[in-house]
Amino acid sequence: MTSFFTALDNIKRSEDGGADAWDTDSYLNIWVGRITTGVLGYSDNPTANIPDDEHGFVVGFQYFGESDHENYGMGKTAVHEIGHYLNLKHPWGSGNCDAANDWVNDTPISEDAYYGNPVHPQNSCETVDMFMNYMDYVDDSSMVMFSQGQVDRMHYALDIFRPTLQESNGCGVPYLVTQPDLLMPVQSLLLTVPYIWI
């Protein structure tokens, strides 16, 4: 299958100058790099017909984490793309006030994407639009929420489509090393300076 993003997927393969994915059954792969096509990032959804070793998302370096980017420097592009990775669509879906728009009952139907920092309320269809949703295209400072239905849909996607991610060691609490009760002095074979073995 060829898509707009096929040319950008070189970042996902070492033979093309990118980096190979870690085990996609255990990790959400994030590729950070230069995107020159005008998009901030892109992600597959759990049912995408792509090779297993390409699952994850790609994000432009200037939009990843905190940066100096005026509109998208708060790291919310990653939140948006993880939403897609966990089977969320944009709130406007196919647009035109389509009732089936994003397959989530508690996100209001909207006609199209919002950009910038809209002032609440905005109304493009019959209800007030949820432009402040992480799945819209507003500036990072205006993205503040997922709806409960979206959270439920992401949990469902984890349980059904990506269950092994929840079993990954990458999700575990790191083992903390504590200070031992007993310090044992040791001597260097080359120096006569005492060392402490912890």
Q: What is the three-state SS of 56-80?
A: CEEEEHHHCCECCCCCCCECHHHHH
One of 15, 54, 81, 126 is an active-site residue; which one? 81
**DSSP string of 33-51, one letter each residue:** E---SS-SEEE--TT--S-
The whole-number pLDDT of residue 93 equals: 85
CA gap 27, 122 in Å, rounded: 38
Q: Which domains does the chain have, with CATH numbers?
A: 6-88+146-197 (3.40.390.10)
The structure's pTM equals 0.82
pLDDT tens, residue by residue, 146-196: 999 999 999 999 999 999 998 888 766 766 666 555 555 544 444 444 444
pLDDT of residue 177: 60
Write the secondary structure of 88-145 as one string of H (helix), E (strand) and C (coil): CCCCCCCCCCCCCCCCCCCCCCCCCCCCCCCCCCCCCCCCCCCCCECCCCCCHHHCCE
Active site residue 81: yes
φ, ψ of residue 133 to 5 degrees: the values are: -75, 145
Q: Which stretches of the chain score pLDDT less than 50?
A: 1-5, 186-198
118, amino acid identity: P
